[in-house]
Chains A and B, each alone.
Chain A
Amino acid sequence: MAVVFQGIGATAALTSATSVDSKKLYILSRRLVSETKSTFMVVRSDGRLNSGSNRRAQKLITNAVATKADSSPATKPGHELLLFEALREGLEEEMERDARVCVMGEDVGHYGGSYKVTKDLANKYGDLRVLDTPIAENSFTGMAIGAAMTGLRPIVEGMNMGFLLLAFNQISNNCGMLHYTSGGQFTIPVVIRGPGGVGRQLGAEHSQRLESYFQSIPGIQMVACSTPYNAKGLMKAAIRSENPVILFEHVLLYNLKERIPDEEYILNLEEAEMVRPGEHITILTYSRMRYHVMQAAKTLVNKGYDPEVIDIRSLKPFDLHTIGNSVKKTHRVLIVEECMRTGGIGASLTAAINEYFHDYLDAPVVCLSSQDVPTPYAGTLEEWTVVQPTQIVTAVEQLCR
Chain B
Amino acid sequence: MLSFLYARQSGLDDPVRLRRAESTRRVLSLELNHNRDVDRIHGNGINTLDIEVIDGRYMLSGGSDGVIVIYDLENNSKKPQYTCKAICTVGRSSRHVHKFSVETVQWYPHDTGMFVSSSFDKTMKVWDTETLKPAEEFQFDGNVYCHHMSPVARKHSLVAVGTKDPKVQLCDLKSGSRIHILQGHRGEILSVRWSPRYDHILATASTDSRVHIWDVRRASGSLFTLDQHNGDKSKTSSEAVNTAHNGRVNGLCFTADGLHLLTTGTDDRMRLWNSATGENTLVNYGKVVNESRKGLKFTVSRGCSPEFVFVPCGSSVAVYGLHSGELITMLRGHYNNVDCCEFHPDYQELYSGGKDCNILAWVPVLRQPDIEDEETNSKRVKHCLYLYRSAGLD
Same assembly: no
Residues of B within 8 A of A (CB): none
Binding site for B on A (CB under 8 A): none
